[in-house]
A and B are shown apart, each in its own frame.
Chain A
């Protein structure tokens, strides 16, 4: 298995532009998590899905952020419009019902908003 795949690896965009981050979870995993990592706040859970359904989006900072999981093999995190303070590394992780060492992380997307 190739693990959790995120794209793009790096994204530089201008303030006000729409940004879409993508994630392909591990096949067979039924939970998917989006995290944001910054020096100030560490790893913050933004939203997570179980069986493609959003379970908890309380970590989503603002209405500018939205996430979807149209099927078991794909999820997107969208920021519209983007702001410089959104600059961070965004990680996607997947697991099978949160058991054992199934919380596997992708390599992340480094987002820079200028």
Chain B
């Protein structure tokens, strides 16, 4: 079956440090991946996405890496700020089904 899971439920970092959040997926048919940020009381908010024909994509302070060989995604946040504190989800889309499936989520805590 399909499943997307996160390795670390909670990540605590110092303000200014870089953060790396990891995610494993199991559906090799997935060809599109998205990272979402969810703050308390809000819906998931798009951060960055990547297609399976790429292995890296950069945004503003964020980078997503995709390793299809081991079915692994990571989200790197540079110079982590208190406003980055939230739960981060990776999600995959299977072109076969069109379904957006979420992983478990990782809580990022930024210490001042």
Contacts and interface: CB of A to CB of B under 8 A. Distances in A.
Contacts of A106: 43
Given A42-B102, A48-B99, A98 B93 contact: yes
Contacts of A100: 49
B89 A103 contact: no
Interface string B12-40: 00000000000000000000101010000
A65 to B, nearest CB: 17
Contact of A105 (B43, B93, B98, B105): B43
A98 B46 contact: no
B49 A42 contact: no
A43 B46 CA distance: 15
B100 interface: yes
Nearest to B51: A100
B44 A31 contact: no
Interface of B: 32, 34, 36, 41-46, 49, 89, 91, 93, 97-105
A4 B89 CA distance: 19
A71 interface: no
B102 A91 contact: no
Given A43-B44, A100-B49, A50 B34 contact: no
Contacts of B46: 101, 103-104
Contact of A43 (B34, B45, B102): B102
A112 interface: no
Contacts of A107: 41-43
Interface of A: 4, 31, 33, 35, 42-45, 48, 50, 55-56, 91, 93, 95, 98, 100-101, 103-108
B101 A45 contact: yes
Contacts of B103: 42
Contacts of A91: 43-44
Contact of B104 (A42, A50, A101): A42
A98 B98 contact: yes
- Across the A-B interface, the 5 shortest Cβ-Cβ residue pairs: A105-B43, A43-B102, A101-B46, A105-B44, A98-B98
